[in-house]
Amino acid sequence: MEGDRRRPEGRSDPFWNSVASFGIEEIFALPDWIGEGKTATAPVGRVPSSMDVQTELAALAERVGDCRGCRLCEARNSIVFGGGNPSAGILLIGEGPGASEDERGIPFVGKAGQLLDRILESIGLDRESVYITNIVKCRPPNNRTPSSDEVAACWWILEEQIRIMEPGVIVTLGAPASRTIIGTSDGIGRLRGSVHRFGDIPVLPTYHPAALLRTQALKRPVWEDMKLLRTLLKKLGLPGKGEP
């Protein structure tokens, strides 16, 4: 079977099994503006000394302190600021912490996070090769979608994180994060599959891993988005392996 031929030996991960059969032939044409004036081998943006970035992020977390900027502070256990490698050049943005994240103070550690790890792994990435955060840093009760005033109240933190990290690429997970970063009310089905921008930074929207847990049919478009991400990373000289 085609999918089995492509699967590296010993790999039994279900995400891989389903995506491997989709093929890897598609070539994605990237917009001309991506990587303009950058060399193919150097990461885009400032190549930050990891210490500077970490110091600045720590100072930002201190400014956030025990934030009371919106109603989400009332029921939260933790402010989930973000996690991973802030100098990696790849920033993933989700919607908001869930119960496990609120408990542990780390983004994407529940079921959706475990699937996200497998998706990242399919293009050679892991938690140390990306930084992950959310549009709101406190858990919305019952995992509801954050309201626009909650997103607005939290926006300054994300904006500062982006300014400090200067990522080469942003991947938005799901409609709320994608709409917030791209500045549109379009649905995720329309936004995904192409490269948008936040200032000079390419933005690649894809479905939220929690949506994949509910709807198997979304695996294929997510895999296509990961191939597009891989093409983008290659062009920008960022990590991620060439072939799955």
Q: Which stretches of the chain bind ligand URA, using CB under 6 A?
A: 94-98, 101, 107-108, 110, 112-113, 134, 210
CB of 79 to ligand URA, least distance (A): 12
Pairing of strands 196-198, 131-134: unpaired
Q: Please, which residue, 93 or 153, has the CB nearer to ligand URA?
A: 93
Using CB positions, name the residue nearest to ligand URA: 94
CB of 242 to ligand URA, least distance (A): 29
Q: Please, which residue, 191 or 236, has the CB nearer to ligand URA?
A: 191
How deeply is 70 buried, as exposed, middle or buried, from its count of CB atoms within 10 A (0-12, 13-18, 19+)? middle
Closest by CA to 177, choosing from 125, 108, 127, is 108
Sign of the torsion angle spanned by Cα atoms 202, 163, 64, 104? positive
- Give me the residues paired with residue 198 across strands: 201
Q: Please, which residue, 81 or 223, has the CB nearer to ligand URA?
A: 81
CB of 143 to ligand URA, least distance (A): 8
Helices 175-182 and 148-165: crossing angle in degrees, nearest 10, is 70
Q: Please, which residue, 113 or 167, has the CB nearer to ligand URA?
A: 113
Q: Please, which residue, 105 or 237, has the CB nearer to ligand URA?
A: 105
CB of 94 to ligand URA, least distance (A): 3
Residue 74 CA to residue 145 CA, distance in Å, equals 16
Sign of the torsion angle spanned by Cα atoms 19, 21, 24, 27? negative
